[in-house]
Amino acid sequence: MADADGKTRAAILGTGNIGTDLLMKILRRSAALEVALFAGIDPGSAGIARAHERGVPTSSGGIDAVLADGSIEIVFDATSAAAHRKHAPLLRDAGKVAIDLTPAAVGPFVVPAIRCDVGAERNLNLVSCGGQGTIPMVYAVSRIQPVAYAETVTTIASRSAGPGTRQNIDEFTSTTAGGLVRVGGAGRGKSIIILNPAEPPILKQNTIYTTVDGEPDRDAITRSVHEMIATVQQYVPGYRLKFDPVFDGNQVTIMVEIEGAGDFLPTYAGNLDIMTSAALAAGEAVAAQIRKAST
């Protein structure tokens, strides 16, 4: 259901740092989405207070409050992997599209730079922050020639890893590895995450190692990587290549870093910014599909 301005009504479930950063992104940038409800389970949440100050409807009723509003069509779940596994069937039965910012891996994996249109699917999984940073680079190589194996190392500032991130570490590694195969196109995948306690906090960095079949087409792979960097930058401006791909036999190494936009979170929290940026891009794509279907 669209509001009077033609915007699709959406809810954000989870009022912590990720949910609050997504809220700020939608309020500042989106011409397609209206935050009809910002819901959590803690009435004293600082996120709820910020949303209330900006005139956004809020609730501490959690998933029940979201389900009770029949006008909401898109729900961004910024809670936890365990919570989303409980929320997913409830949202599906209520006819709402879930965009999952947790590594629950309930629905099809979505990386906006590669694909957002998943047809009639009602649950879109954004893989993980590591997946959003690394899968585009694996795909950039695999669309040139087959990738037998991809291994990625995600390094983030320890200060940017809150309780939710730490609780989801196991899901992070398994879900990211799966995304390297299912979306990135690798034959096999492995994912590693490192929490770096350095002060001042470091920017998020991803190192991507790929093993290709045969001799790498260096020029074509380098062009493909630069093209994919530009594609991701359309919705994550702080996503950038550290240096050109490095070739060693049939191995290709790529390193990227992500600087956050600073909408709510500090700029070093690129691991969280890339998730909320991907969520906004996916949400706007879903809103466009909903509008097209209603005409």
* Structure tokens belonging to residue 128: 């993980």
Task: Give the C-alpha separation, 132 to 93, whole Å.
Answer: 28
Residue identified by tokens 């005409």 is: 295
Task: Tell me, letter by letter, the H, E, C secondary structure of 92-128.
Answer: HHCCCEEEECCCCCCCCECECCCECCCCCCCEEECCC
* Cα-based distances in Å from 248 to 138, 147, 209, 210, 212: 16, 14, 11, 10, 11
Task: Give the C-alpha separation, 103 to 92, whole Å.
Answer: 18
Task: Give the C-alpha separation, 38 to 69, whole Å.
Answer: 12
DSSP tag of 236: -
One-letter amino acid identity for 175?
T
Q: Are 99 and 283 in contact (CB under 8 A)?
A: yes
Task: Give the C-alpha separation, 18 to 80, whole Å.
Answer: 11
From 12, 18, 129, 228, active-site residue: 129
129-142 and 169-182 helices cross at what angle (nearest 10)?
Answer: 20
User: Which residues on neighbouring strands pair with residue 151, listed in sequence order?
Assistant: 190, 209
Task: Give the C-alpha separation, 291 to 295, whole Å.
Answer: 7
To the query of whether residue 129 is one of the catalytic residues in this protein, the response is: yes
Residues catalogued as catalytic: 129
